[in-house]
Amino acid sequence: MLYLTLTLVFESTCPIYALVFLSSLLLIVFKGVTDRLIPLFAVGAFLAFTLSQAGMVMHWKRTEGSHARVSMLINGIGAISTGIALCIILVAKFVEGAWITALLIPMLILLMFKIRRHYDYILRETADPNPANLKAIPSPLVVVPMERWGRLAEKALRFAYAISRDIWVLHIVTDEKEQPGTSDLRTMWSDYIEKPAKEAGLKPPELVILHSPYRLVVTPIYEYVIELGRRNPDRYVAVLVPELVERRWIYYLLHSQRATALKLILYRKGDWRIIVINVPWHLSSLWVVSCVAERLPYNRRIRQASRNRLSACARAGDGLPGSSLTRCPRKALLYAGPASITSRTLTLRSPTTH
Q: What is the pLDDT along the chain (354 residues), one digit of tens a residue?
A: 444 454 555 556 777 888 888 888 878 887 777 777 788 888 888 989 999 999 999 998 888 777 888 888 999 999 999 999 989 988 888 887 778 888 888 898 999 999 999 999 999 998 988 898 888 888 999 999 999 999 999 999 999 999 999 999 999 998 877 777 888 898 999 999 999 999 999 999 999 999 988 888 999 999 999 999 999 999 999 999 998 888 887 888 888 888 999 999 999 988 889 999 999 998 864 444 444 444 444 445 445 555 555 455 545 544 333 334 444 444 444 434 444 444 333 333 334 444
Cβ atoms of residues 336 and 291 within 8 Å: no
Cβ atoms of residues 340 and 307 within 8 Å: yes
Cβ atoms of residues 204 and 212 within 8 Å: no
293 three-class SS: helix
141 three-class SS: strand
Give the whole-angstrom CA distance, residue 151 versus residue 193.
Answer: 12
Q: What residue type is assigned to position 107 of the chain?
A: M
Question: What is the DSSP secondary structure assignment for residue 193, as one 8-state letter?
Answer: I
Q: What backbone phi and psi angles, to 5 degrees, belong to 237?
A: -120, 115
Cβ atoms of residues 217 and 172 within 8 Å: yes
Residue 176 pLDDT: 73
Give the whole-angstrom CA distance, residue 260 versus residue 282.
Answer: 16
Cβ atoms of residues 243 and 278 within 8 Å: yes
Give the whole-angstrom CA distance, residue 98 versus residue 146.
Answer: 60
- Listed by start position, the domains of the chain span 33-117, 141-282, 296-353
Return the closest-CA partner of residue 303 out of 268, 338, 344. 338
Strands of the sheet with 206-211, listed across from one edge: 206-211, 167-173, 141-145, 237-245, 274-282
174 three-class SS: coil
Residue 342 pLDDT: 40
CATH 3.40.50.620 fits 141-282, yes or no: yes
Residue 101 pLDDT: 81
Give the whole-angstrom CA distance, residue 165 versus residue 291.
Answer: 40
Alpha helices in 127-163 (DSSP H): 151-163
Give the whole-angstrom CA distance, residue 84 versus residue 53.
Answer: 13
206 three-class SS: strand
